[in-house]
A and B are shown apart, each in its own frame.
Chain A
Amino acid sequence: MYLQTLLIALSEIRRNAMRSFLTILGIIIGVSAVIIMSTIGQGATAKVTADIAKLGSNMLSIRTGQRGPGRSSEVARPLELSDVEAIERDIENLEAVAPMSSTGLTVVYGNVNWATSIIGTTDKYLDVRDWEIDSGRAFTQSEMRTGKMVCIMGGTVRKELFGGQDPVNEKIRLGRQSCKVVGVLKSKGLSSFGSDQDDIVMIPLQAFQRRISGNRDIGRIYLSVNEGASTDTAREEISRLLRERRKIRPKDADDFSVFDMKEVSDTMAGTTEVLTTLLSAVAAVSLLVGGIGIMNIMLVSVTERTREIGVRLAIGAREYEVLMQFLVEAVVLSTLGGIIGILFGVSSSFGLTKLLKIPFVLDPFMIAIAFIFSTAIGVIFGFFPARKAARLNPIDALRHE
Chain B
Amino acid sequence: MSVPMSNRNKGNSTAPLLEFQAVTKVYGMGLAEMKALRGVDLSVNEGEFVAVMGPSGSGKSTCMNILGCLDIPTDGNYLFKGVETGTLSRDQRALLRRQYLGFIFQGYNLLGRTSAVENVELPLLYRRTPAHRRRELAMEALRTVGLDGLEKHSPAELSGGQQQRVAIARAIVTKPSLLLADEPTGNLDTERSLEIMDLLASFNRDLGITIVMVTHERDMAAYAGRIIKFKDGLVASDDNSGRNA
Interface residues in A273-316 (C-beta closer than 8 Å to B): 307-308, 310-316
A195 at the interface (CB under 8 A from B): no
Q: Please determine whether A317 and B70 come into contact, CB atoms closer than 8 angstroms.
A: no
- B residues within 8 A CB of A261? none
One digit per residue, 1 when the CB lies within 8 angstroms of any chain A CB and 0 when it does not, for chain B 111-139 equals 11110001000110111100000000000
Determine whether A162 belongs to the interface, using a CB cutoff of 8 Å to chain B.
Answer: no
Chain B hits for A1, CB < 8 A: 128
B70 / chain A contacts, CB cutoff of 8 Å: 313-314, 394-395
Do A316 and B128 form a contact, CB below 8 Å, given A394-B70, A395-B70? no
Q: Contact: A315 with B98, CB < 8 Å?
A: yes
Measured between beta carbons, the chain B residues less than 8 angstroms from A317 are 94, 98, 126
Q: Which of A15, A314, A317 has the most CB of B within 10 A?
A: A314
CB distance from B174 to the nearest CB of A (A): 8
Contact assessment for B111 and A311 in the assembled complex, using a CB-CB cutoff below 8 Å:
yes
* B-chain residues with CB within 8 Å of residue A310 when the two chains form the complex: 109
Q: Please judge, given known A-B contacts A308-B111, A311-B111, A314-B70, whether A8 and B125 are in contact too, CB under 8 Å.
A: yes
Chain A 300-336 near chain B by CB (<8 Å), digits 1 or 0: 0000000110111111111111000000000000000
Q: Provide the bound-state CA to CA distance between A133 and B122, in Å.
A: 79
With A307-B109, A394-B70, A395-B70 as given contacts, are A314 and B114 in contact (CB-CB < 8 Å)?
A: no
Q: Which residue of B lies closest to A1 (CB)?
A: B128
Does chain A have a CB within 8 A of B177?
no
What 0/1 readout, one digit per residue, does chain B (42-72) give for beta carbons within 8 Å of chain A? 0000000000000000000000010010110
**A314 x B103 contact (CB < 8 A):** yes
Answer yes or no: B95 CB below 8 A from chain A CBs: yes
Asked whether, in the complex, the Cβ of B65 is within 8 Å of the Cβ of A395, the reply is: yes
Whole-angstrom CA separation of A310 from B71 in the bound complex: 13
Specify which chain A residues have a CB less than 8 angstroms from the CB of B97 in the assembled complex: 314-316
CA distance A244 to B169 in the complex (A): 103
B193 touches A (CB below 8 Å): no
| Nearest CB on A from B130, distance (A) | 10
Beyond A15-B113, A394-B70, whether A316 also contacts B123 by CB under 8 A is yes
> Does any Cβ of B come within 8 Å of A165's Cβ?
no
> Which listed residue (B71, B96, B109, B128) contacts A395, Cβ 8 A?
B71
Closest approach, in angstroms, between the C-beta of B96 and any C-beta of chain A?
A: 8
**Looking at B90, B96, B127, which has the most chain A CB atoms within 10 Å of its CB?**
B90
What's the minimum C-beta distance from A329 to chain B, rounded to whole angstroms?
A: 14
> Smallest CB-CB separation from B92: which chain A residue?
A318
Q: Is the CB of A316 within 8 A of B98?
A: yes
Q: Which residues of A contact B103 (CB under 8 A)?
A: 311, 314-315
Q: For chain A residues 47-85, which have a beta carbon within 8 Å of chain B?
A: none
B206 at the interface (CB under 8 A from A): no
B68: A residues at CB distance < 8 A? 314
With A and B bound together, what is the CA distance between A376 and B65 in angstroms? 39
**Nearest CB on B from A399, distance (A):** 9
- Chain A neighbourhood of B105, CB < 8 A: 398
Residues of A within 8 A of B99 (CB): 316
- The answer to whether A4 has its CB under 8 Å from any CB of chain B is yes
Q: How far is the CB of A325 from the nearest CB of chain B, in Å? A: 10
In the bound assembly, the distance between CA atoms of A316 and B99 in angstroms comes to 8
Are the C-beta atoms of A319 and B128 separated by less than 8 Å? no
Q: Does B91 contact A (CB under 8 A)?
A: yes
Residue of chain A at shortest CB distance from B61: A395
A-B contact pairs, 22 of them (CB 8 A): A4-B128, A11-B114, A15-B112, A15-B113, A15-B114, A307-B109, A311-B103, A311-B122, A312-B122, A313-B70, A315-B98, A315-B103, A316-B94, A316-B101, A316-B127, A317-B94, A318-B91, A318-B95, A319-B90, A319-B94, A394-B70, A395-B65
Closest A-B pairs by Cβ, 9 of them: A316-B98, A316-B97, A315-B123, A15-B113, A318-B94, A318-B91, A311-B109, A314-B103, A394-B70
Residues of chain A at the chain B interface (Cβ within 8 Å):
1, 4, 8, 11, 15, 307-308, 310-321, 394-395, 398
